[in-house]
Structure 1
């Protein structure tokens, strides 16, 4: 029996990869325009980083992490998200000594052991940004407007940006008390996970996707009921700046996000057309995270976006660009001498940036022309014994059905002219 890929993973084949590259190129362009620089962190970290950074009460830490002992009996975990790793790199590399804020972005694979379904994989890919070292509402608004403008650039429509403030440790303590008081008599009606959350992190009960828990928490106190003056002022300023930026949003008092490190601003971007997993981006402020993992007190905010989910939304809305045309030319060399000459010509054409290919199996002219058509080549460059004797190259236009000859010594120059003109 042939070995198959692990459950919850996928092979990205030619045809699909080009769509990924289009999205990645657009992301990099937008980040460059906003002044964000790329950071790349290891795909595995010390398990403690995620226990302390993501939070012991989260589903990620409790149920979903790929954790193993290395040969030194150290507990390591494949990264389930990117923010904790970026914050660890910020501390370890003393980026807090640079002019603040530090504006970073990342792209890469993440790993969570969960039930695979549409838009959800065990190896998935995220794009995220993190801004460290600034606590002004202007930063929150810029981060949200960046992702909003990225989606506008991609042409996505029917988006909903949900925004909330989950408060600071001071006002969250008041909300925790009110929420526990509200739920105390209904505790047995909660799912098993939420019953455990009741003592450790009751706020996360509001984030439960279980319909029975959602019914139990209907009418429960929200974080808005207990926001302190500082958090309330901060949130009002963020909303005012989003209005200035033209971001269409909805205040959602039940939005709390699923990670323990969030403070003040939290947000998600939804698109309903991709099924149950409708969130294609989520993030918020995490002013205590850097200190939690051993760094100096440092405000931070960021978001993460699932690459697979965004591609699904682009496909559903027919916003992905049409496939680019294939090869510029296929070199058809007939015989060993022609292959030698053609191989040299191939290198010269590629050095000029032309996408060209050559038959590698020694097939006849008819088979090679069929291969040129299969690869959507515009031209067939034919070099046989007769052409070699006259030091000429036969150029056949496979679109127009026309052909001409050019001296071999001028072949690169003439073909480059055609390539630059797009003909």
Structure 2
């Protein structure tokens, strides 16, 4: 019997478990660990709450989770409750699928001022992640600056712009919905160092900005390349740039009322410094130009008033004691998913924060191929390991309050029962609350 421990219950973790089942059938036992009592990682706390169709992929993971040879082991923190070395003693293979849950820093003067957030924290706040539930951003300001030109920046701008009615059917948590309802924002600036042809925004997400009740996206037509240049783009980016061209069209004199919000795209503008005394009051940006596709500063500095700044420039994997780490790449040091003997990584923990949710499926199958190669080469030896049984004894000895998948289903039902009208659930935003829901 082969025993595998997967650390992380997000898409990468469950796709890897699915791959292991297909590789070894009933001859493998898989434990999927998570530090939270609830599974699905990015699907639960990263995907925008108004994108419920994307969250539906969790049904596929549930099929895997309910298999006889797969266990969810929630409420267990690796490095605190149990070490990697201990898991390596218990399991033939340990696979890190922890994602990249930490914000990449801006590394700018003034970054420590109040009301400046990274997207992991801000998205976690409105998605109900227990670590960020107490964030309490100040939305009484006039202007917010969102730094970044990817889909996360679009999610943040959209969430900040929506009316309460537009959140119908979403699972945005109550504390965020109530605070957004009091927002006095009138302008959201999306800031990017490069130009329209270099955006990482997908057409669907970009197009959504044009359908909001009270928000109006705007692009300066002077920032757009010649239309003929769009023909050289990949189809998806070409369609996204088409949305930007639509946002640059004259509004026909449409009046911005007192409660409307302008979403202003600022291209060729690199953040230079964050200005303020105790809290952010403005952001300095440097005008850029592209040289061989790279943004180069021109020396021209502009100061933009801003009472709220959200950085959406990427993520980093959180290091784990005893595991080699690539500081520059913000991920575990690995070669094609192999870290050291018996220790592997997959998903964002392997390749960094890139690709879509679906990208993790081939990645999961790829790392299981490596495990299979190592098994065939005799890397795991012939001595039977204790696997999940050994972990259960260790957990009992340490008094760990392990949450099973059956427990999660009870938490899920409690969240469904307490949902506001029209919402699929009202998430618990505190781990103690989740445990209390188990009775």
Q: TM-score, normalised by structure 2?
A: 0.22
Q: Which structure has the larger Rg over C-alpha atoms?
A: 1
Structure with more contact order per residue of length (Cα contacts < 8 Å, sep ≥ 6)? 2
From the two aligned structures, give the one with the greater helix fraction. Answer: 1
